[in-house]
Amino acid sequence: MKTNLRITEFEPNRKFVTEATSGFLEGTKISYLMEPMEGNRTRLSRVTEFRFHGLARLMRPFQAPLARRDGGVEISGVKRMLES
**Cα Rg, the chain, nearest whole Å:** 14
In terms of C-beta density within 10 A (0-12 exposed, 13-18 middle, 19 or more buried), how is residue 25 classed?
buried
Return the higher-pLDDT residue of 63 and 26: 26
Sign of CA dihedral 26, 55, 77, 44: positive
Per-residue confidence band for 64, with pLDDT thresholds at 50, 70 and 90: low
- 23-44 pLDDT per residue, tens: 777 888 999 999 999 998 888 8
pLDDT value at 72 more than 80: no
Whole-number mean pLDDT of the chain? 78
Q: Is the pTM of this model over 0.85?
A: no
Q: Which residues pair with 30 in a beta bridge?
A: 18, 48
